[in-house]
């Protein structure tokens, strides 16, 4: 078969590498336009070296349309004469005109156990919502977002401290393996799809910077899940409020929850240092719980551990974390 790969970033890389080493002809790569590092987006910020250099090395044509659904872009795709599109974290919704170009349509490598977490950021939202298991689904592409028939699916456990970036790299490898298996089945005429139960569908929309703002009234477990889910982008953040000083932005990189800690006399978001002999930097969260900050980056400073911070700073009674303007 003649295959065209459509993908961007590290999640798509194992699939592309597998296609290049497989028995089928890779006749083109469609990837996002080159952008400055600060403007790049994908399923996460993990861009790596990208797929383009690998395609150029193999002398594979590369298309980088800003909008794949234009008449010009569809014509360029048609000129490659693909039998099948293989899509992984491409970053654009494909029109029916695009999907009609190859006789066999397209398959999509999606990083969730569909119909759960349809959308651009399934890995992050799975962690955010406290899932202990996720996986990869290979689906027959349709014009509806992540709604096509499931051709293959495999689950994978989420580590208790695993970040979205770490989990996505593991899912990428699994996705590449499943995609190759499905492509062989399509070539042999043995692929069979299972319709998704749309009543069980949930959404995983594209992340924004605002998704990283911590609400300390949520239970500690939920806050810690959010911190893991927002890495490597947009990262979880909050603001340190002190008497007589401007709020200082903190990016929280690592934390652990301390559920069941008595905090009835304290307000959510309040900073406390305990115990005094081996100090820990903790924040009062909802549900009689606390979040212990392990590693963070105050604005204008380097990334540091809480222990390093406490050597030179000691929060005072009444200091708290929260939104910038409260």
pLDDT value at 292 more than 80:
yes
At residue 309, the pLDDT reads 95
Average pLDDT of the chain?
93
pLDDT value at 13 more than 80:
yes
Q: Which domains does the chain have, with CATH numbers?
A: 2-200 (3.40.50.170), 209-322 (3.10.25.10)
Work out the pLDDT band at 161, boundaries 50, 70, 90: very high
Work out the pLDDT band at 191, boundaries 50, 70, 90: very high
Q: What is the DSSP string of 16-81?
A: HHHHHHSSSEEEEEE-PPP--GGG--SSSS--TT-SHHHHHHTT--EE--S-TTSHHHHHHHHHT-
Distance of CA 50 to the CA centre of its chain: 16
State how far the Cα of 113 lies from the Cα of 175, in Å rounded to an integer: 12
**Per-residue pLDDT tens over the stretch 88-119:** 999 999 999 999 999 999 999 999 999 999 99
Ranking 23-37, 257-271, 286-300 by mean pLDDT, the lowest is 257-271
Work out the pLDDT band at 297, boundaries 50, 70, 90: very high
Ranking 48-52, 171-175, 274-278 by mean pLDDT, the lowest is 274-278
- In the three-class reduction of DSSP (H, G, I as helix; E, B as strand; rest coil), residue 221 is classed as helix
Q: 297 has which bridge partners?
A: 251
**Per-residue pLDDT tens over the stretch 302-324:** 999 999 999 988 889 889 999 99
Q: Is residue 158 a contact partner of residue 224, using CB atoms and an 8 Å limit? A: no
**Per-residue pLDDT tens over the stretch 215-239:** 999 999 999 999 999 999 999 999 9
Give me the half-sphere count of Cα atoms (radius 13 Å) on the Cβ side of residue 305. Answer: 5
pLDDT value at 61 more than 90:
yes
pLDDT value at 37 more than 50:
yes
pTM: 0.93
């Amino acid at each position: 078969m003649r295959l065209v790969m459509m993908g961007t970033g590290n999640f798509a890389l194992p699939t592309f590498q597998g296609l290049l080493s497989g028995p089928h002809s890779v006749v083109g790569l469609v990837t996002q336009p080159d952008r400055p590092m600060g403007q790049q987006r994908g399923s996460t910020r993990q861009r790596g070296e990208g797929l383009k250099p690998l395609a150029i090395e193999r002398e594979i044509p590369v298309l980088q349309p800003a909008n794949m659904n234009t008449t010009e872009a569809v014509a360029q795709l048609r000129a490659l004469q693909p039998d099948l599109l293989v899509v992984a974290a491409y970053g654009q919704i494909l029109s029916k005109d695009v999907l009609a170009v190859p006789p066999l349509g397209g398959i999509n490598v999606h990083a969730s156990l569909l119909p759960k977490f349809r959308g651009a950021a399934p890995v992050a939202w799975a962690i955010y919502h406290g899932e202990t298991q996720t996986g990869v689904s290979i689906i027959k592409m349709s014009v509806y977002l992540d709604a096509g028939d499931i051709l293959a699916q495999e689950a994978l456990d989420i580590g208790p401290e695993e970040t979205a970036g770490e989990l996505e790299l593991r899912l990428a490898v699994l996705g590449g393996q499943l995609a190759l298996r499905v492509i062989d089945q399509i070539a042999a005429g043995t692929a069979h799809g299972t319709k998704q139960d749309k009543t069980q569908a949930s959404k995983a929309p594209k992340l924004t910077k605002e998704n990283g703002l911590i609400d300390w009234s949520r239970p500690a477990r939920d806050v810690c899940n959010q911190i893991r889910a927002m890495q490597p982008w947009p990262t979880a953040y909050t603001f340190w409020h002190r008497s007589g000083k401007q709020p200082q932005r903190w990016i929280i990189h690592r934390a652990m929850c301390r559920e069941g800690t008595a905090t009835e006399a304290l307000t959510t978001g309040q900073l406390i240092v305990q115990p005094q002999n081996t100090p820990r930097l903790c924040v009062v969260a909802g549900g009689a719980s606390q979040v212990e900050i392990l590693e963070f980056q105050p604005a204008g400073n380097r990334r540091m551990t809480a222990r390093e911070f406490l050597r030179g700073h000691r929060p005072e009674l009444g200091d708290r974390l929260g939104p910038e303007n409260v």
